[in-house]
Structure 1
Amino acid sequence: MKRLLKPSKLQWYAFLATMPLSAAIINYILFERAIYHEFIYWTFSFPLIFLLGYLAWYFHLSVGDWLKRKYQEPGQFRTRLIIEIILIFALTSFCTYILIWIFAYFRILGYSWDPADFQQGLLVCCSFTLLIHTLYEADYTFLRYRESAEERQRFLQMSQYQEFDSMKNLVNPHFLFNCLNTLSSLISEDRDKAGKFLEELSKVYRYLLRNNRETLSSIQDELRFIRSYYELLKTRHENALELNIDIDDRHLNYMIPSLSLQLLVENAVKHNIILTDRPLIIDIFVTDGDRLIVNNNLQRKIVNVKSNRVGLENIRSKYRLLNQEGFQVIEDERNYTVVLPLIWHNNIHQFINALP
């Protein structure tokens, strides 16, 4: 069941500060100087106007809240504001008309319809509506700005963690020892293969140093890097590790967060059993909905491998800051799948501006 909207303290304060005054003015417009002589205009008419005003105010808030949820992306701000202004003033006009019509139709306190009263009442209601909604919009914008600033700070911290982890993983003793040990064996066995291995190793480090601080990289660059990284892993694991890439050329200029593929492949290798009779198979492909899929068969190691999950959270934060929906981590009994939304390169400057 959908919960009713709960107004904020600011919204309540604004309502309680403006509604009594606007109700008193409407009361004067309807009955003029009679309100100075007959107390009934304050004990009956004023509360009725106040009640109808409260219902109209709450309806306005509900419409505004619905629009903020429907048009919450930064690029939709102008569209939302225009629609909200049109709807709010249309609702204000309707509610003002209904208010005065009720008094006239039921002849409340002897009131009869006067078009001039509607015009004056509409002017008063629209003025107060404009005032309080300007206040609400300023408060909403400030809160969104503060949330964005906090999100950017968290993103910056996670980026620093990812940068450190990426460097640490590629220069840690185990990785270097395995690479150097493999290279040493290849030099004595196959100099051509050793030369190729050294070339791929240099490509991996060169890309890491160049792109580690970048926010986004093209699919083409990421695939070039992951192939070099895979060659290093393949030399060690041989037929126990398989990487399948199926991506059309038309997707190569799309963008994803830098080093995402390396992180996901590394996680797959780190957390799964890799044996010749139980090979780890990693598939990278793009769906019709412009989603890049990184999938591997799930065969977790019996011993739990320590993971701080900073990498995945960093990728998730980048997509959130870029206002890109669709990042998913899906796990079942057989597969571990990560879904990365693709970002079109023509919009790169717009997205980069959203990041710190």
Structure 2
Amino acid sequence: MKRKSFIILLWVSIGTALFFFFFFTEEKTIENFMLSFLISALYSFFLGVGNGLINDFLNKKFPWSEATTKRAFISVVSILVANFILVYFCNYVNFVFFQKAATAEEFFSGKYNFINWFMVNIALLISAFLHARSFMEELKKTSKKEVVEQKLIAKSANAQFESLKNQLDPHFLFNSLNVLSSLIDENPKQAQKFTASMSKIYRYVLEQKDKELVTVEDEIEFAKTYCDLLKTRFEGSVDFIFDVKKEDYRRYVVPLSLQLLLENCIKHNFATSSKPLIIKIFSENDTLCIENNLQVREQMKESAGIGLANIVQRYSLLTKRNVFIEKSEDYFKVKLPVLSDKPNAVSIKNEDKDKAYERAQKRVKEIKGFYGNLISYCIVIPFLIIINLVTSSKHIWFYFPMLGWGIGLAAHGMSVFAIGKNWEDRKIREILEKENKR
């Protein structure tokens, strides 16, 4: 426990001693005050330090944020056992040694059962208040930590997405200029035609590179234009086959994905009139496939790997669906997921996280409401007990609000930790899992 906690317990001991000294002690002497202070310190420090050590131990072993239900159950059991032992010990020392009002045999004979039971209840109320306070403090820390983590995740994802998009512009320009430089030597007229067509394509690149997703129709039209450029360079050495379903045209893919994959096909394979490179673009089970016959060319230098890696990373930021790559001795195929919706870059990746965060936030509100109810109970009931005992000790009436409110509090706790919506959600998941296994 911290030094601050011991100082608080010291002040509680002094305050309790003054209260009992002035209101319940007939002889106002220094000896009686010191006795009151000693008894108050006995209860305050033993109960306070005992519950504090238990709370610190449970915080390390079973943090509220990681195992809320388990921690709540263990806290209840440990509070009951520990406070029962601590109260009996404090009462024994108080009545047998300090006040010398009873012998050990009388204390355990049943004469002090009511006092022991009463003090156990007071200790439990105070202990519950301390554990609830600990939960609220950890809840604040966890909430702040989650907010910071979510902000960092969002900033990181946005920065990563922007970085990936910024690769497209120079990458396309570099590859196009390489093609153009080759054509200038091989066929100047074709180079002029290529330059005119390249300006149209580059306009598309500038328009689409900042978008997260584009329609399959736009991407196919752009790919066809780009294929015309490649045919201009390679003439009959490269052939392109498009077989994309019309219903996929209104769905979405990442922009310039086809252009990057077409570049890869040309870059990593040789193409001649006798052995033409055949590139197919077609639909297959909610994916857009780009397949080419494998005619691997020897690389003079290692590839930078920007094209395919860029596509994979952009898809990973947008959806859980993966980009699949198939390679055999005869062909190389890349499958791009075709998306039905057009979401935002960060929100898609974190869609499930957002839903989970909303559920967690709702769960926290339920737990917070329960502990607010518990704290109110811990404050109000001891106050009613003191009023009852001071005003009319012969007529005990504090049982009724204590039991009635206590039953309601127990029901509230059961709904939050045991048989609430969390239990319903678990049962629903179990049933669905059983159905899926059939």
TM-score interval, normalised by the smaller of the two chains: 0.5 to 0.7
Which amino acid counterpart does residue 42 of structure 2 have in structure 1? H
State yes or no: 1:141 paired with 2:142. no
Q: Distance in 1 between matches of 2:337 and 2:3?
A: 47
TM-aligned CA deviation for residue 99 of structure 1: 1.6
1:276 Cα deviation from its structure 2 partner: 3.8
**Aligned counterparts of 1:316 and 1:230: Cα–Cα separation in 2:** 22
Q: Is the 1:179–1:232 Cα contact (8 Å) retained in structure 2?
A: no
Query: Residues of 1 paired with 2:198 and 2:220: CA distance?
Result: 15
Q: 2: distance between equivalents of 1:177 and 1:49?
A: 75
Q: 1:135 to 1:351 in 2, by over 3 A?
A: same
Aligned residue number for residue 352 of structure 2: none
Tell me how far apart the structure 2 counterparts of residues 101 and 332 of structure 1 sit (CA, whole Å).
65
Name stretches of at least 5 consecutive residues in structure 1 with no aligned partner: 1-15, 64-87, 188-193
The 1:49–1:184 alpha-carbon spacing in structure 2 relative to 1, beyond 3 Å, is: closer
Deviation at 1:262, TM superposition (A): 0.3
- Of 245, 254, 257, 1:260 maps to 257
| 1:327 is aligned to 2:332 | no
CA shift in 2, pair 1:53/1:230, >3 Å: closer
2:231 aligns to what? 234
SS of alignment partner, residue 221 of structure 1 = helix
Separation of aligned partners in 2, 1:17 and 1:251? 65
| Match for residue 242 of structure 2 among 228, 240, 245 | 245
Change (3 A) 1:139 1:185: closer
Query: What is the aligned partner in structure 2 of residue 102 from structure 1?
Result: 81
Secondary structure of 2:298's aligned partner: coil
After superposition, the CA RMSD in angstroms is: 4.3
Question: 2:282·2:288 contact (CA, 8 Å) conserved in 1?
Answer: yes
> Is this contact kept in 2: 1:204–1:228, CA < 8 A?
yes
Measure how far apart 1:263 and its partner are: 0.6
CA offsets, 1:253-294, max 9 Å, x none?
A: 222221110011111111112234433233333343x33333
CA distance in structure 2 between the partners assigned to 1:353 and 1:45 by the alignment: 44
Q: Which amino acid aligns with 1:102?
A: V
Matches within 5 A, 1:326-345: 326-328=321-323, 330=325, 332-334=327-329, 335-345=331-341
Aligned residues: 294
1:211 to 208, 211, 219: 208
Choose the corresponding residue for 1:313, options 301, 309, 318.
309
Counterpart of 2:77 in 1: which secondary structure? helix
Change (3 A) 1:149 1:44: closer
Q: Which residue is equivalent to 2:180?
A: 175
Gaps of 5+ in 2: 18-37, 90-115, 350-438
SS in 2 for 1:295: strand
Structure (1 or 2) with the larger CA radius of gyration: 2
Q: Kindly report which structure 2 residues correspond to 1:36-185, keeping only aligned pairs within 5 A, or say none.
A: 36-37=41-42, 47-48=53-54, 50-57=56-63, 60-63=64-67, 88=68, 90-103=69-82, 107=85, 110=88, 114=120, 117-170=123-176, 172=177, 174-175=179-180, 178=183, 184=189
* Counterpart residue type for residue 37 of structure 1: L
Q: Is the 8 A contact 1:96 1:118 kept in 2?
A: no
**Matched position secondary structure for 1:336:** strand
Of residues 122-131 and 234-243 in structure 1, the stretch that sits farther from structure 2 once superposed is 234-243
Choose the corresponding residue for 1:272, options 269, 273, 277: 269
